[in-house]
Amino acid sequence: MSVATAPQALVIEGGNPLNGRIRASGNKNGALPILAACLLADEAVTLSNVPRIRDVETMIELIAALGASAEWIGANEVRIDSGGLNSYELDAALAERIRASFLLAGPLLARLGRASVPPPGGDVIGRRRLDPHIHALERLGAHIEIESRYEMRTPDGLRGAEIFLDEASVMATENAVMAAVLAPGETVVGNAACEPHVQDLCRFLVSLGAEITGIESNVLRIHGVERLHGGEWVIGPEHIEVGSFIGLAAVTNSDLTIEAVEPKDMVSILASFARLGIEVELGDDWLRVPPHQELVIQNDLGDQVPKIEDGPWPAFPADLTSIAVAVATQAWGTILVFEKMFENRLFFVDKLVSMGARIIVCDPHRVVVSGPSRLYGQRLTSPDIRAGMAMLIAALCANGQSVIGNVAEIDRGYERIDERLRAVGAQIERVDA
């Protein structure tokens, strides 16, 4: 079990441009399902480029509590051996820390035929349905009773099935795929999510011997195999972190080069940021945000107010809507940001308004931002991972000092963010709150 630490805060002196190179971490939402999927292999698996963040640490603790061996063997390298797997009951205290705890349901059903999973935790950004998970696992042959926990069993084993997800849920897609790879017969998952991290999970499973086709599409076909062997895998880069750094560089007038970038993951992100006036240089595995950019919002035809709206991949990612709002406060013009997926995601904007931003909240899903606004340092508290990063971006371009509390939320998704930003010139310090 991890040792509890005192609450911490970030103290930021704003108004200073950054300069240099910063490397994107491994994808958080790729590492979590891949760690869970290691339980499907009957030999050891070594993962590299694993982000050393709170959510990953919790997933490793959950896996170890089930009897498997799970340990860090390097700064960003983890070794998982499921040989000692002997429990199907997830620790409730650990599970309530992260939403991704529910990703262990599929692997446990596939390996042990049982899973006892408490309700997951994670960001409070609105209703996050578990229905697609339950329906997918039931289609594969699981019997599920829901009381204080989700009690799952497979009295006749799992079998391949036709599954249609009523929403393109990333985690439900991942749970269905992990449960299906060892199930006899063919499984077809329709309306599957196809985000970069879902693709990474599928390719990882194929590297261990799974048979999956349709990767990158919204229809996945899985032919069940008898076993998965061990192996090694490099977690893909975090496109959400790359997008966060792009926004940060643009509003602080910085000259920042981001390394470890997968260009094909940036297509929809760069298109939406271009609407905010951000220009970038994109290489084979790097991206540069040049300095001295005048951010001007690009109106729609007829000089109509434009909008940025999120959606399932390849649409603009929901995890970057908070970042887009922060960037829009520093761009000339007016834009509508439409968060379709989570009704509480935008409730942090009052923090930006307190700093001087001009934002109108239309309803839980939509805000209108007019800029540019001169921002001033404030005392803030991070409600979730992405809102915390958006507030950090605002603080770095604001006049004066800001203090962001509940920094543990930011640490759940961004590895050593203060150290990495300090290395490129940010005036940021971590203190006990």
154-207 tens-digit pLDDT: 999 999 999 999 999 999 999 999 999 999 999 999 999 999 999 999 999 999
Q: What is the pLDDT of residue 128?
A: 55
Q: What is the pLDDT of residue 39?
A: 98
Torsion, Cα of 31, 111, 102, 49 (10° steps): -10
Q: What residue type is assigned to position 282 of the chain?
A: L
pTM over 0.85: yes
Q: What is the pLDDT of residue 189?
A: 98
Question: Domain map of the chain by residue range?
Answer: 8-25+237-432, 28-233
2 and 233 Cβ atoms separated by less than 8 Å: no
Helix locations, 113-195, DSSP H? 131-139, 170-180
Question: Which residues are CB-contacts of 47 (< 8 A; sequence separation ≥ 6)?
Answer: 31, 34, 35, 38, 77, 78, 79, 80, 232, 233, 234, 235
235 and 48 Cβ atoms separated by less than 8 Å: yes
Tokens at residue 31, please?
């590492």
Q: Is 32 left (phi over 0), alpha (psi -120 to 50) or beta?
A: alpha
221 and 181 Cβ atoms separated by less than 8 Å: no
Residue 207 sits at φ, ψ, to 5 deg, of -65, -20
How close are the terminal C-alpha atoms of the chain, in Å? 23
Of the candidates 257, 238, 208, the one whose C-alpha atom is nearest the C-alpha of residue 107 is 208
**Domain 28-233 fold:** UDP-n-acetylglucosamine1-carboxyvinyl-transferase; Chain (3.65.10)
Active site positions, annotated: 123
28-233 shares the fold of 8-25+237-432: yes
Which residues of the chain are under the pLDDT cut of 70? Answer: 1-5, 122-128
Per-residue model confidence as pLDDT tens digits over 93-142: 999 888 899 999 999 999 999 999 998 875 444 445 789 999 999 999 99
CATH of 8-25+237-432, one of 3.40.50.720, 3.65.10.10, 3.40.50.300, 2.130.10.10: 3.65.10.10
Strand partners, 236: none
- Treating both helix axes as pointing N-terminal to C-terminal, what angle do 105-112 and 28-37 enclose, rounded to 10 degrees? 10
Q: What is the pLDDT of residue 3?
A: 43
Q: What is the pLDDT of residue 5?
A: 67
* Angle of CA points 336, 344, 428, to nearest 5°: 85
Q: Cα–Cα distance between 240 and 318 in angstroms, integer?
A: 10
Question: Which residues are CB-contacts of 3 (< 8 A; sequence separation ≥ 6)?
Answer: none
